[in-house]
Structure 1
């Protein structure tokens, strides 16, 4: 899980990142935080990068958290979950942030367990609830322990054995179905610690597309998004747009 954190006070930033990366253990998923001290820097990143969650401090230089949130919802029309942090505790301020589009509002000083619990609850609304080992997206079932994927179509069921990195890549794309996903996000999802060349990622995508048959005939299309990354999208509006709960 990739989280953007906007906070201009170094000690608060360190505390936030430590809390998020150590308290937020969702299943076997790693948590990585990308930090920003200024709102304008985060806005530039949001034009090309993908995050699962934004944690925004209200009072930061040049573009504050509420202004950034307004831009995100109004002009980018992004549904990325947002938690607003602030020392402001008046009903007017809380209502203003929630009205603009914040998913939650937390008054400082932060309490680590509360923050982690609120984030888990928020993210569960945006993902199907997995069982211990399975996640389901339409007719596609992801089995985490075996790194395998199965799909049922026209009464026939197919099963695909994937490498661990192929499985992580596929799961990242299905979790963001219909959304453009940045290269950095996909590389982190696969567990790459260092840089992965554009050509190497393209090769991974090509092999995955061929192995799973991610073509229009199956109701899905995996496309390149210029200047950003890739998007897995549905070509069958009636069948794939809604994501049923995991089995």
Structure 2
């Protein structure tokens, strides 16, 4: 999962990213609200961790604006140095899903983040079969069927197709696709991604007559659209 972290303290955001990166998440830290909101607008994130004492814009306002840019299911957790009930209630009332009191404990941070992500994205946690209309993804063997027929797809094509179907209607940036599918491969030419997207489109017959359309989003990435409701 891709997680944005806003904390005025660079060492704190770096620590959070290090801890969450160690359990497989991709984490990006920011030190001010302006940069955070700008990247939320340009890129795709699955979760936001927010310092409630952010200085350049009220945390409640950051949360309100962030909700307009994040996926509907994306959880938000805020961090606070105060254990007072008023601060905690204010954060939860503003729309946060959970909170932690600083100083952070690594084990608790991982456990809370994992629990929030499991609740927000249940289809991505251990399901062996995922059905999207005529497409059936069997995640354990990495097998993809269309109307009962097994499709000849590579591992990368399977991962790419599943990523698009898990995010139907949501624009996915090239950076997000790269991190989700190519993971630790740092140098992936742009044409490689485009070629894989083209193969997925052709092999899965993602065209209007089949109810789907896989389209480029100019200067951003790609979006899979479900047609006809």
Give the shorter-chain TM-score range: 0.7 to 0.9
- Asked if the contact 1:147–1:167 (Cα under 8 Å) also holds between the matched residues in 2, the reply is yes
Distance 1:196 1:130, change over 3 A: closer
1:17 has 2:9 as partner: no
Counterpart CA distance in 2 for 1:58 and 1:64 is 8
**1:142 aligned partner:** 137
- Asked if the contact 2:2–2:26 (Cα under 8 Å) also holds between the matched residues in 1, the reply is yes
Distance 1:127 1:91, change over 3 A: same
- Asked if the contact 1:220–1:232 (Cα under 8 Å) also holds between the matched residues in 2, the reply is yes
Counterpart CA distance in 1 for 2:201 and 2:165 is 12
Instruction: Spell out, residue by residue over 1:17-38, the C-alpha distance to the aligned partner (whole angstroms, 9 max, x if none).
Output: 222122x4xxxxx321111111
- Structure 2 residue runs of 5 or longer lacking an equivalent are none
- Structure 1 residue runs of 5 or longer lacking an equivalent are 25-29, 238-247
**1:245 aligned partner:** none
**1:229 aligned partner:** 221
- Asked if the contact 2:51–2:78 (Cα under 8 Å) also holds between the matched residues in 1, the reply is yes
- Asked if the contact 2:40–2:70 (Cα under 8 Å) also holds between the matched residues in 1, the reply is no
Paired residues for 1:1-247 under 5 Å:
1-22=1-22, 24=23, 30-73=24-67, 75-76=68-69, 78-79=71-72, 80-129=74-123, 132=126, 134-139=128-133, 140-152=135-147, 157-192=148-183, 193-237=185-229
Q: Which is further off, 206-215 or 161-170?
A: 161-170
What is the alpha-carbon root mean square deviation over aligned residues? 2.3
Instruction: Spell out, residue by residue over 1:31-62, the C-alpha distance to the aligned partner (whole angstroms, 9 max, x if none).
Output: 21111111111111111100111111122342
Counterpart CA distance in 2 for 1:47 and 1:213 is 31
Instruction: Spell out, residue by residue over 1:163-210, the C-alpha distance to the aligned partner (whole angstroms, 9 max, x if none).
Output: 222122112212212211111000111125324343332222111111
